[in-house]
């Protein structure tokens, strides 16, 4: 995979030269890229709410607090990050059909607890829509400065109910040939948004499964067997985040990682051996990190080039 990313990098600069010298039309370039994009490495970030997915992306991709993260579940939309010549964010808005479907859901009577939650969050989204939402929705997609993204992707954002998905492009060479996808979770009341997450995961080559400092738990195990198994991916990397909360010296991180892997294997034993999960997990890699420490520069610099996790991930795959 890393080879593909390198090839993509070379192809990009070749295309640029060909375009600069009028040897390639824009249409030819677009056509080529659309086909070539199939070899783009897509890395999906998954895990339970508050595991630290968005913080991980902030630490290892942006090296800054760009994506909203917080003690309440915060990300409401799928966020794709790719290389682009300009730093920009494009927000795809919900459609009238999405809103109609939400209204139908909000008027339903719940038959169990998970449905109650879904209906309540549908009501929440409808209540949070700004007064002029119909007018805004006619635009389909809008481009906003990256600094204003919180309005669209976080629960506290004024326009978060309106965003279906967000695409950020960053002028960072390390992103060439790579798409990183931060996911909000699977039970979205806006079914088209939930479907977007599922479809998007199905197109990922690699999943980064983020756990918090306690390692695998029952929620992680059920995510693995209920969602990830069906995502159609071939590689998975377990990342144990928030390791700072364990207050361990760096010298003990490796032992702690072994302990996490043993605990994970206990959960895996309960999953039928012939399932996709067993195949995926048999070759999965595991890492420990702390987004917080990485953001404060407290992880030794030898581990951070361009940033520890990102480069380690590229080496692992
Ligand atoms: N101590 C500590 N807290 C973290 C770390 N990474 C994330 N958090 C906190 O965990 C909470 C959830 O993080 P967030 O990235 O929003 O989680 P997400 O829902 O998985 O995207 C926030 O309050 C973060 O500040 C970490 O490495 N160490
Ligand atoms: Mg998040």
Percent of the chain residues topping a pLDDT of 90 = 13
**What pLDDT, in 10s, does the model give residues 266-305?**
988 887 766 777 777 877 888 888 888 888 877 754 444 3
Question: Which residues sit with their C-beta closer than 6 Å to ligand 1?
Answer: 47, 49-55, 69-71, 73-75, 241-242, 244-245, 290-292
CA distance 152 to 163: 6
40-92+166-316, what's its fold? Answer: Rossmann fold (3.40.50)
pLDDT surpasses 60 at 310: no
**48-62, 145-159, 254-268: lowest mean pLDDT where?**
145-159
**What pLDDT, in 10s, does the model give residues 127-153?**
888 888 888 889 899 898 888 887 777
pLDDT surpasses 70 at 114: yes
Ligand 1 centre distance from Cα of residue 36 (Å)? 35
> Best mutation site among 45, 50, 58 for ligand 1, i.e. most ligand atoms within 8 A of its Cβ?
50
Instruction: Tell me which residues have their CB within 5 A of the ion that is ligand 2.
Output: 53-54, 75
Q: For residue 78, which ligand has an atom nearest its CA? A: 2
Percent of the chain residues topping a pLDDT of 70 = 82
Ligand 1, atom 25, lies closest to the CA of: 70
Q: Is the peptide bond before 169 cis (omega within 30 degrees of 0)?
A: no
- Locate 189 and state its tokens: 């009341």
Predicted local confidence at residue 168, as pLDDT: 92
In a 10 Å sphere around its CB, with 0-12 CB exposed, 13-18 middle and 19+ buried, how is residue 296 labelled? exposed
pLDDT category at 210 given cuts 50, 70, 90 is: very high
Predicted local confidence at residue 301, as pLDDT: 45
Ligand 1, atom 22, lies closest to the CA of: 70
Predicted local confidence at residue 309, as pLDDT: 53
Q: Per-domain residue ranges for the chain?
A: 1-39, 40-92+166-316
b/e 263-281 (16+ beta carbons within 10 angstroms → b) = ebeebbeebeeeebbeebb
Mean pLDDT, residues 182-189 = 71
Ligand 1 centre distance from Cα of residue 283 (Å)? 27
Angle of the 96-106 helix axis to the 191-202 helix axis, nearest 10: 120
With beta carbons less than 8 A apart as the criterion, state whether 106 and 122 touch.
Answer: yes
Q: Which residues touch 302 (CB under 8 Å, ≥6 apart)?
A: none
For the chain, first and last CA: distance in Å? 6
């Amino acid at each position: 995979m890393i080879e593909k990313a390198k090839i993509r990098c070379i192809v990009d600069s070749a295309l640029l030269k060909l375009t600069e010298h009028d040897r390639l039309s824009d249409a030819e370039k677009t056509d080529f890229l659309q086909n070539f994009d199939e070899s783009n490495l897509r890395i999906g970030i998954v895990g339970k709410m508050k595991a630290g997915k968005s913080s991980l992306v902030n630490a290892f991709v942006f090296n800054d607090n760009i994506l909203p993260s917080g003690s309440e579940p915060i990300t409401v939309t799928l966020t794709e990050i790719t290389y682009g010549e300009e730093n920009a964010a494009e927000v795809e808005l919900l459609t009238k059909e999405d809103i109609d479907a939400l209204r139908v859901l909000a008027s339903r009577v719940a038959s169990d607890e998970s449905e109650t939650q879904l209906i309540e969050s549908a009501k929440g989204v409808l209540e949070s829509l700004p007064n002029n939402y119909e007018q805004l929705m006619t635009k389909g997609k809008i481009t906003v400065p990256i600094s204003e993204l919180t309005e669209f992707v976080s629960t506290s954002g004024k326009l978060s109910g309106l965003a279906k998905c967000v695409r950020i492009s960053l002028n960072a060479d390390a992103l060439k040939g790579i798409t990183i996808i931060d996911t909000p979770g699977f039970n979205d009341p806006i079914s088209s948004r939930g479907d977007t997450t599922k479809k998007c995961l199905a197109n990922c080559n690699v999943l980064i499964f983020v756990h918090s400092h306690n390692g695998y738990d029952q929620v992680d195990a059920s995510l693995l067997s209920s969602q990830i198994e069906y995502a159609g991916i071939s590689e998975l990397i377990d990342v144990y985040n928030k390791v700072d909360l364990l207050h361990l010296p760096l010298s003990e991180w490796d032992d702690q990682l072994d302990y996490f892997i043993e605990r994970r294997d206990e959960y895996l034993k309960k999953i039928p051996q012939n399932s996709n999960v067993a195949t995926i997990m048999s070759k999965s890699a595991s890492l420990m990190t702390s987004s917080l420490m990485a953001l404060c520069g407290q992880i030794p610099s030898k581990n951070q080039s361009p940033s520890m996790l990102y480069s380690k991930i590229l080496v692992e795959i």
